[in-house]
Each structure stands twice: as C-alpha cells, then as structure tokens.
Amino acid sequence: MIQDSQYTEDNIRSLDWKEHIRMRPGMYIGKLGDGSSADDGIYILLKEVLDNSIDEFVMGAGKTIEVSIQGTKVIVRDYGRGIPLGKVVDVVSKMNTGGKYDSRAFKKSVGLNGVGTKAVNALSSYFRVESTRDGQSSSAEFATGELTGKEFLEETSRRRGTKVTFIPDETIFKNFKFRTEYVAKMLRNYVYLNPGLTIIFNGEKFFSENGLKDLLEDNNNKEDMLYPIIHLKGDDIEVAITHSKSQYSEEYHSFVNGQHTTQGGTHQAAFREAIVKTVRDFYGKSFEASDIRKSIISAVSIKVMEPVFESQTKTKLGSTDMGGDLPTVRTYVNDFIGTYLDNYLHKNPETAEKLQRKILQAERERKELSGIRKLAKERAKKASLHNKKLRDCRIHLGDTKKERRLETTLFITEGDSASGSITKSRDVNTQAVFSLRGKPLNSYSMSKKIVYENEEFNLLQAALNIEESMEDLRYNNIVIATDADVDGMHIRLLLITFFLQFFPELIKEGHLYILQTPLFRVRNKKETIYCYSEAEKLAAIEKLSGKPEITRFKGLGEISPDEFKHFIGDDIRLDPVMLDRDTSIEELLQFYMGKNTPDRQEFIINNLKVELDLIEEK
C-alpha cells in the first residue's frame, strides 16, 4: 500500500518577485550564457535598461544616452525626464509598476510587462538607480534585488535624467564577458531606429540621420547592391530595400517599437508577402515568390499599440493588430508597400528594370536547378530517415518544450570518433550533432548548384533548413567542432567559406561559432586542470607543483564522453565568427580561398613569424 505524503499549509510557499526571477531567470531574459552570443542574458539586461532611456527620447525628452562598460560594470545615463523622485525604489523593485501603463505617457513603448528593470535588479549583484529632476535627486542601491541603501532627496545642479549602474550576478551568469561588438551592434540599431538620437559608448559616438537606409548601407558593401536603396517612410512604418548582386538567400532586419525582432513575426511575414504581391502587380506577371525575394536585403520597422511578443525577450512579434482604429498588421503593411513601393518603381524606371532582370535571372537559375534540387531533397530525406549524418535534439523531435528553441545548438564535427564523443556527452533536449565525412570542398567562386550536388553541403543545408530563408533556421547556434590541428583548422576554414559564400547572413546575424576544447589535461592525485593554451598549461604545472601528469589532446575523439560533458555544458567556450563592418566578403574569400598570390604568401610568412616569436617568448 502506498502511503500518502503529507500535504499541509507548510508545503505552500509564495515566492516574492526577486526570488521568482532568480529561480527562473530564463522566463524573464531567455537563456543565460557567458556573453559569447548576442542573445545571452547579460545583453538582455543592458537592453532592458536602455529601452527605458529610448522611450524617453521617443517622448521628446533627452537626445543623448551615455553607456559605459568597464569589465563587468555597466552604467547607462540618459537625460530624459527622470523617474518621479518618490517612486525611484518602486519602479525598480515592485512588479507591474511603471509609467508605461499610462498610455498618455507612453503610447508605443517597447513593452508593457512592468518587468524590465526589476529583472535587471534581481539578477545583479550590485544595482544602483539615481533620478534627477527639478533640481533634486534621489537614489537607491540594491544587491540581488534587496534594498541595501537609500539616499533621500538632495539638492543638485546636475542635469535631469536617470542613471542606472549594475553588475550582473556572477553566480547566475558564470564566467561572463561583455563583447563590445555585440553591444555596438545593439546601439547602432537603436540609432538607426531613432534618427536624431546620439548614443556614446565608451567614448565612441553612434548617430544616424537616415534610419534604416543607414542600416543597410553600413552592413553591406555598396558595390554589391544591385540598385540604390529604396527607402520608404509612413506614420508607423519604415522600410529599406535593395537586392544583392552576389548573395543567394534573403536577408531581413525587422523591428517593432524599436525592438529588434531577430525571429521575425507577423510584421516580417506581412512584409515578405507584400513585396511579392506589389512586384507581381507592378510587372503584371505571376513571378514565383522565391524568385522575387532571392538576394533581397531589407529592413522593416513598425510601431504597434501594446505589442504582444511570443516570448519575454521580445524576439518575435505575435500581434496581429496595429492597435486603436488601425487595421491588422498584415493589411497595414500590405497597403503601405502596395502604394509606396509601386509609386517608387513607377518613378524610378532604371531600378525597376534592374529588379526585373534580377527576377528573370533567378527564375532561369531556379529552373536549371529544379531537377538537381528535387534529387537533392530526396537524398536529404533518405539520409534523415536513416539518421546517418544528423543526430537531432528533442526540441525538433517534438519531445521537449519549444520555448527552449533559443538554446538549440548544432555541432558540426569531423569523423565518427569526435561525433561519437559529442553525441554521448550532449544535452539531448537542445544539442544536435552533424557528422562530416572527410574535408568539405572549397566552395569559393562556385555556384549554388554545388550545394545540391555535394552530399555534405546538401545534407547540412537540409539539417539547418536554410535553403530559402533564415526565418526557418532550425538551430540558434551552429558550432564548428573540429580538432585543434592543421587538418581541423583547414576543415574549419572550408566550412566558414561555405557559409560566407552561400549563407552570409548566418554569420552576420551571429549564429556561427567555433568550439574551444582543451589542448592539455594537467593532473595529480588531488586535482585536474584543463588547459586551452600553452600559457594555461604552464600555470597549471606551477599550481600543482611536483611532476603532474600532462596529456596533450590530439583530437576530440581522444576526450572521453564524461570529460566532454564539461566542455559542451555549463563550461562551454565558444568563439563567435564575426564579420568586420568594413570587410567585403568577396575580397575576403578571394584573398584567403582564391588562387595563391604573392600577397597571401607574404601574409602567411609574416604571421608565422609572429607565432614563432610568441612561442619563443613563452
């Protein structure tokens, strides 16, 4: 007989606001991470503070925001109206408290959840807020959400506004580091969406005059644009459109009320649909949607009353209505594009002619590839049925919660031994493994045809689900996991070439990483230290003293599954693959992956000398 467990009043526990946030941080800021990914929690904390300052600018108060990040400490200072002095503590520590609930003050703010700065407060080991207005200031200090000190009203000559200082809690965000590249990209998006706003980050100034037009110009090589950027603005909508001469897939930057919706949503779907309908109507031909949108580079921003997002981190819009007396998002976007893009094409026949030629070229290429694509899809389907290359994660198999999609990772490995180690060590809920057989082709200067004819590329494309658009990308993180030797480095380079050649937006949007695994294991009877460099090995030997056992890992397959769990779990080290804003992809690939040249030989010799000098110094 099963004995009933006791269930009394003592079993009932109520969590206060900060306890709940700290116990379930993912509900409020998405994944945690260490800062190697642009959607890691530390950047969401920064964004939540910045959103309040941006809303002040939108309401006409404060044209400058100052951001400082020194080590782990973040300071955000705006020159808006300042928090009402009697509510400074409440605004950052009482749930569902804030000015955004009063639609008279904030008509189209980023969100109305009343959680933002409270989450930052609860998840910071140190948090300080200071408000200045009407010649007076009030401030309060917290630690993990607990009020530790409060300054009462004092007279001041400082300019009005709000200053927030916080240090993310290292017990929650382990071994974290802010990457300036991610912060800079976030701040650029803010100024693109708010022309006239100045953001100063560690002394560097960010400013935009032309909004989304500047976004496309700054993120793409002008020489690669098929025609001048089409820039259209309405009351609650702004779009920028061009097509690439060399890029294959579609690229979208979408925003709602200043929030970067990296996963798209109803507004992006409506935008893609509206482009197709308008172009068909303008030319009077039923072009295939994929031919119209092939190589498109675009941005769309809309403002919605009380938007509804599909997650707390607001990366995908779920709202179908614009709010108030306005029509649905779909109707509003379709009507705007249908009128303004049509007018633009009529007034700019040269652009219209270039666009038509591009569509017809895409149509020819699609028809030429149709047979190959059909066979390639059949091969990919058979391969997935036999599970030869891809060991998927439960999220895609339907066995776990979809909310964890941001945590999904695909490891691309070389050989069966490395694949086996990662497969046995992985988190089966969110981590998948794709096993390469041998070295991939150097795909530089090859056409898209090779993606379908080459088994490795075809199956990798199918696993990622990126043939038509990044919107359907199955894994948020794609991690190249190769051996730390010459062959492994070569495979890594060939894979990066493949993505740059055919799917550059995968890198532009921060989805591609390199897995760092230890080169050495240094241990004695009491302690084991894993070392990722020669310098770390020397430090470990000194720490353990005596004559510790030293193992050099030649390949991933030599690391046991039990050990590997650490390197792809909480202690994972990822290096993001990033593109410099001023770098031309074509020039980059031509230099490193094209025919050998004296310039490249000189580059290799010079860098080899630097490496040898460093080794000698050690």
The residues near 120 (Cβ < 8 Å, ≥ 6 apart) are: 45, 48, 49, 92, 127, 164, 166
Domain ranges across the chain: 17-207, 212-365, 387-517+554-583, 519-552
Instruction: Compute the CA torsion angle 40, 45, 48, 53 (nearest 10 deg).
Output: -120
pLDDT of residue 10: 52
pLDDT in tens, 284-311: 999 999 999 999 999 999 988 877 777 6
Query: Which CATH superfamily hosts domain 17-207?
Result: Histidine kinase-like ATPase, C-terminal domain (3.30.565.10)
Q: Which fold has domain 212-365?
A: Ribosomal Protein S5; domain 2 (3.30.230)
**Residue 431 clears pLDDT 80, i.e. is over it:** yes
Residue 374 CA to its chain's centroid (Å)? 32
**Mean predicted confidence (pLDDT) in 247-273:** 88
Residue 65 is encoded by which pair of tokens? 């925001």
Give residue 327's pLDDT. Answer: 81
Q: Do residues 524 and 546 touch, judged by C-beta distance below 8 A?
A: yes
pLDDT at 12 over 70: no
Looking at per-residue confidence, does 452 or 537 come out higher? 537
Whole-number pLDDT of residue 382: 65
Q: Where are the alpha helices (DSSP H) in 161-259?
A: 180-193, 212-219
Which range of 139-153, 210-224, 267-281, 541-555 scores highest in mean pLDDT? It is 267-281
pLDDT at 60 over 80: yes
Distance CA 467, CA 448 (A): 10
Does residue 370 sit in helix, strand or coil? Answer: helix
Show Cβ contacts of residue 604 under 8 Å, excluding neighbours closer than 6 positions. none
Q: pTM value?
A: 0.82
pLDDT confidence of residue 614: 41
The class (CATH top level) of 387-517+554-583 is alpha beta
Hey, what are 43's tokens?
A: 């950047």
Residue 318: CB partners within 8 Å, gap ≥ 6?
A: 265, 266, 308, 309, 310
How much is the pLDDT for 380? 67
Least confident among 10-19, 199-208, 365-374: 10-19
Q: What is the pLDDT of residue 615?
A: 42
pLDDT band at 113 (very low <50, low <70, confident <90, very high): very low
Please tell me which residue, 264 or 185, carries the higher pLDDT value: 185
206: which residues sit within 8 A by CB, 6+ positions away? 184, 187, 188, 190, 191, 198, 199, 200
Q: What percentage of the chain carries pLDDT values higher than 90?
A: 35
Residue 262: helix, strand or coil by DSSP?
Answer: coil
pLDDT at residue 613 is higher than 70: no
Mean pLDDT along residues 509-535: 89
Contacts of residue 344, Cβ cutoff 8 Å, sequence gap at least 6: 230, 232, 351
Q: Cα separation of 145 and 143, whole Å?
A: 5
AA letter at 440 = P
pLDDT exceeds cutoff 50 at 241: yes
Predicted confidence (pLDDT) at residue 400 exceeds the cutoff of 70: no
Higher-confidence position of 6 and 137: 137
Fill in the amino acid letter for 147. Answer: L
pLDDT one-digit tens code per residue, 157-179: 888 999 999 999 999 998 899 99
More confident residue, 601 or 208: 208
Residue 314 has pLDDT above 80, yes or no: no
Range 565-580 average pLDDT = 84
Residue 72 pLDDT: 94
Please state, as a whole number, how many other Cβ atoms lie within 10 Å of the Cβ of residue 101.
12
The pLDDT, as a whole number, for residue 555 is: 77
Amino acid at 532: Y
Model confidence at 477: pLDDT above 70: yes
| pLDDT at residue 246 in the model | 80
> Cα(317)–Cα(325) distance, rounded to whole angstroms?
19
How high does pLDDT run on average in the chain? 83
Residue pair 574/182 in contact by the 8 Å Cβ criterion: no
